[in-house]
A and B are shown apart, each in its own frame.
Chain A
Amino acid sequence: MIDKYLKITKKIATACGVFAAASIMLSIVIVTELVLERYIFGNAITWQPELVTHLLVASTFIGSAYVFAENGHVNMDYFYTFLSEKGVTILKISTSILCLIFFLVLFYVSYEIVSEAFVKNYDTGTIWGPPLWIPYSSMLIGAMLMTMAYIGELLRLGRRLKELS
């Protein structure tokens, strides 16, 4: 059961990585188009800076689950060398619970923000003005993915602790 869950979260994390990388690649193309449009053809710029900014935010929030799966978020683990494996596992469980609470709170608040923006039909307030709930939902999706990732991490660590005890 745990293995199945971990396998699914890993697959989702990989999909997030693909999305985040594709967003960044797409940003290069859009920025190049923007520069041509502005400096070569002398046209006014409307949607490009806003779209790439939303892509950047989306790649950060959604890509975070992938970076987490790849152990890419930097941390200060110097004290791990002074602890036994069991001690490290307990410490990791404690910090994972803190992170899980944080992402649950962020998920809840993001949901409130997104639903408010959706119901009240807010837009981003720019010339282009796409619906505000779309960019905000990247935070919601990111928080949800990280919540899932930390649940998986806690299941994995709990099992490890059981083996060590």
Chain B
Amino acid sequence: MIENMDPLTLGAVVGIFTVMILFSGIPIAFGLCVVSLVFLVAAEGVQIIEVYAETFYSGINSFILLSIPMFILMGMAVAHSPAGKDLYTGLDRWLWRLPGGLVISNIGACAVFAALSGSSPATCAAIGTMGIPEMRKRGYSARLATGCIAAGGTLGVLIPPSIVLIVYGLATGTSIGRLFLAGVIPGILLAFLFMFWAYIHAYYIDKDSAARLKDRTSPTLKEKLEVLPRILPFLAIVAGVLYVLYGGVATPSEASGVGAFLVFVMIAVVYKIYQPKKIWDIVKISMKESVMIMFIIAASYIFAFSLSTLYVTQSIAQVVVDMGLNKWLLFFYINIFLLVCGFFLPPVAVIVMTSSILLPILTDFGFDPYWFAIVFTINMEIGLITPPVGLNLYIIKGITPDVSLGEILKGSIPFIGMMILCILILCIFPEIVTWLPDKLMGKDAGF
């Protein structure tokens, strides 16, 4: 029956079936494997299963993918050491004078910690555990305190090194170094937009608390300086890893592998974390995260392969191109589609599953794949603070059990507005994304 269906109808059937299977509560990775297997066998016969298994295997049989567990290890080692606390204290002492200072320094701490850990939940947990009680103690509303950390945590997927951008690079064949560079300025811009909203909220909405914030004593220079020796080595490692990546000195896997090694040396030297039990805990938690992501990548890869074998990918791309839509209207629809996907699925699954369909369409309409990667990632960030998945919301809820999930969500909504504003700014000024990679790597390098 399936072989007589036209690819578009088949695409719709696969889509509906996939949604039903995934909503049944089956692990996402296994659900995608089941859907691909069913449709491939139905269309091509049982003899396809050998190709299926080999394709599934080859989905993760890549040296570049090693950068995923390595970056996760780097991040987890930092997240499970007192580096987060030191970073938080350091930024608070340096930024205390700024208006809305504590909230702004919390967002700043999220941005820097995100760069160190590359993980959104780890950032939320590490900075939120210290930052939220502190902000509330100093008079900020629970809504602002929780919302700013939930949003600040999402910066982890945009500011390099970012696992999401690595997977995008692999799925689309774009340069990971160039993607990382493309994420730098938009990441900083987004952090500033978050800070801007925090300032507005702190001073114009939480008026009463603003008055209470004035009587804070200034930290001494000694206090400001004492924390630096502990956090600077970690920042230096991340800077070093990114430098060798951008400079094309080493591949992402090599750079991240050495980065992970150095982070382990640093936590041993700075925080005396070298006991086998503690190291084992870090490795175990990183392995869990890495295996989960890698399995999703393999499953999404086989899912994309089956769509392509069934000619669904090519047909959808052709139909969209033939529709003759206005470039920006198409872009708008794609954003809505990605947002909806991001509400339910983890970013890596969305990327691997959809990039083979979306990228040919977008390049056909003249969009830059690097610019699109950043817009894509911001869409995925929104999914992290919106229900029903909204991982960051649940982490914040875990840290602050007395604040309701609804209240945390209300605090996060204005920050979602800031993310949409950021996408709009990037649409009007795409150079914000492309300028830095063009400047440092040359216009055509990295393709």
Closest residue of A by beta carbon distance from B250? A35
Contact: A32 with B23, CB < 8 Å? Answer: no
Contact: A76 with B258, CB < 8 Å? Answer: no
Contact: A20 with B37, CB < 8 Å? Answer: no
Give complex CA distance A15, B306 in Å: 34
Closest residue of B by beta carbon distance from A45? B254
Contact: B291 with A67, CB < 8 Å? Answer: yes
Contact: A74 with B56, CB < 8 Å? Answer: no
Contact: A24 with B288, CB < 8 Å? Answer: no
Q: Does B346 contact A (CB under 8 A)?
A: yes
Q: Does B336 contact A (CB under 8 A)?
A: no
Give complex CA distance A94, B31 in Å: 12
Stretch in B129-137, B218-226, B279-287 with 4+ CB within 8 Å of A: B279-287
Interface size classification for chain B: 35 or more
Contact: A110 with B287, CB < 8 Å? Answer: no
Q: Does B295 contact A (CB under 8 A)?
A: yes
Closest residue of A by beta carbon distance from B61? A57
Distance between B446 CB and nearest chain A CB, rounded to angstroms: 20
Contact: B27 with A35, CB < 8 Å? Answer: no
Note all chain A residues with C-beta closer than 8 A to B27.
68, 73-75, 99
Q: Does A115 contact B (CB under 8 A)?
A: no
Contact: A28 with B280, CB < 8 Å? Answer: no
Q: Does A155 contact B (CB under 8 A)?
A: no
Q: Does B215 contact A (CB under 8 A)?
A: no
Given contacts A56-B294, A77-B25, A91-B24, contact A49 B287 (CB under 8 A): no
Contact: B288 with A70, CB < 8 Å? Answer: yes
Give complex CA distance A99, B37 in Å: 11
Contact: A24 with B287, CB < 8 Å? Answer: yes
CB-CB contacts below 8 Å: B56-70 with A: 56-57, 60-63, 65-66, 69-70
Q: Quick one: CB contact mask for A40-83 with B, threshold 8 Å, 1 for yes?
A: 00000000011011001101100110111010111111111000
Give complex CA distance A47, B286 in Å: 25
Closest residue of B by beta carbon distance from A143? B53
Closest residue of B by beta carbon distance from A67? B291
Q: Quick one: CB contact mask for B267-297 with A, threshold 8 Å, 1 for yes?
A: 0000000000000100110111111101110
Interface size classification for chain A: 35 or more
* Other-chain contact of B295, A73, A99, A112 (Cβ < 8 Å): A73
Given contacts A24-B283, A53-B62, A80-B25, contact A72 B291 (CB under 8 A): yes
Q: Does B205 contact A (CB under 8 A)?
A: no
Given contacts A27-B69, A72-B288, contact A98 B26 (CB under 8 A): yes
Give complex CA distance A104, B102 in Å: 55
Contact: A92 with B53, CB < 8 Å? Answer: no
Contact: B60 with A56, CB < 8 Å? Answer: yes
Contact: B50 with A113, CB < 8 Å? Answer: yes
Note all chain B residues with C-beta closer than 8 A to A39.
249-250
Given contacts A53-B62, A110-B53, contact A28 B346 (CB under 8 A): no
5 nearest A-B residue pairs (beta carbon): A31-B257, A73-B27, A95-B26, A109-B53, A63-B291
- Seed contacts A60-B298, A77-B25; 18 additional CB < 8 Å A-B pairs: A20-B291, A21-B280, A21-B287, A28-B261, A28-B264, A53-B61, A60-B291, A64-B295, A67-B291, A73-B27, A73-B292, A75-B27, A75-B31, A78-B23, A78-B388, A109-B53, A136-B57, A139-B56
- Residues of chain A whose beta carbon lies under 8 Å from any beta carbon of chain B: 17, 20-21, 24-25, 27-32, 34-35, 38-39, 49-50, 52-53, 56-57, 59-60, 63-64, 66-68, 70, 72-80, 88, 91-92, 94-95, 98-99, 101-102, 105-106, 109-110, 112-113, 135-136, 139
A-B CB contact pairs (8 Å), 28 listed: A21-B284, A24-B69, A24-B73, A24-B290, A28-B70, A28-B261, A29-B261, A31-B257, A34-B254, A35-B250, A50-B63, A52-B63, A56-B66, A59-B291, A60-B298, A73-B27, A73-B30, A74-B346, A76-B23, A76-B28, A76-B345, A79-B23, A92-B25, A95-B31, A99-B26, A101-B34, A105-B37, A106-B56
